[in-house]
Structure 1
């Protein structure tokens, strides 16, 4: 498996970054995050202890359906389904076609690396004479 790099950026920062990439003004570096959260709180919610337990169960017990995962985890199927949809949206898991009409949750990554600058990047300051 591989490591998913995630970053934290508010909506404005994400929109600016996306606009720069689309306009060709910025090219993402190889080490840049591929998934973004709007806050450390949203990151913590998605990867809460209970949700990491679901990931562990998927890895170790390979449930064949969302319903089976919910039973193993002792959680309501609707809750597990909603959680898996969120995790899939962030690329943490993927849902594969299982038996019949059932979907089978599969891990997409076995590690997450958080890229979190502790201070905002500052624009270069102009110095006397107009040089940077």
Structure 2
């Protein structure tokens, strides 16, 4: 089964997913601990998060399952401090989990694909309605 992370550009504070999850918990239902949707506030933020260097890191994590950020840096042939900064940013947005692995942190992705929903035209969050 393919696990998909849905990403959408949404400038409003749409909390319906959170509210649905809380309602399910209140009803005693089990819920997926990982949200399947990431809302990004604007296209500029989306571009920063999903820039080519970060996409390369996500692919390397999924393909090689490195034991540490240092190993990930070797895989992508970049300096460890730069990779650490990028992986920390990805973790802050929930795109990467950092599991304790002795003294190291092991980067892990829980999804197999990313589905992106980018509104255009008058529905775009970057354009104010007339």
Asked if the contact 1:91/1:108 (under 8 Å) is kept, the reply is no
How does the TM-score come out when normalised to structure 2?
0.69
Partner of 2:74 in structure 1? 71
| Greater length-normalized contact order (CA 8 Å, ≥ 6 residues apart) | 2
**Unpaired segments of 5 or more residues in structure 1?**
28-32, 122-132
Asked if the contact 1:66/1:105 (under 8 Å) is kept, the reply is yes
Asked if the contact 1:93/1:109 (under 8 Å) is kept, the reply is no
Rg (Cα) greater in structure: 1
User: 1:8 and 2:45 equivalent?
Assistant: no
Runs of 4+ in 1 over 4 A off after TM superposition: none
How does the TM-score come out when normalised to structure 1?
0.68
- Residues 1-132 of structure 1 correspond to what in structure 2 (within 5 A)? 1-10=2-11, 13-14=12-13, 17-18=14-15, 34-98=37-101, 100-118=102-120, 119-120=122-123
- SS of the residue corresponding to residue 84 of structure 1 reads helix
**Distance in 2 separating the partners of 1:70 and 1:64:** 11
Q: How many residues align?
A: 107
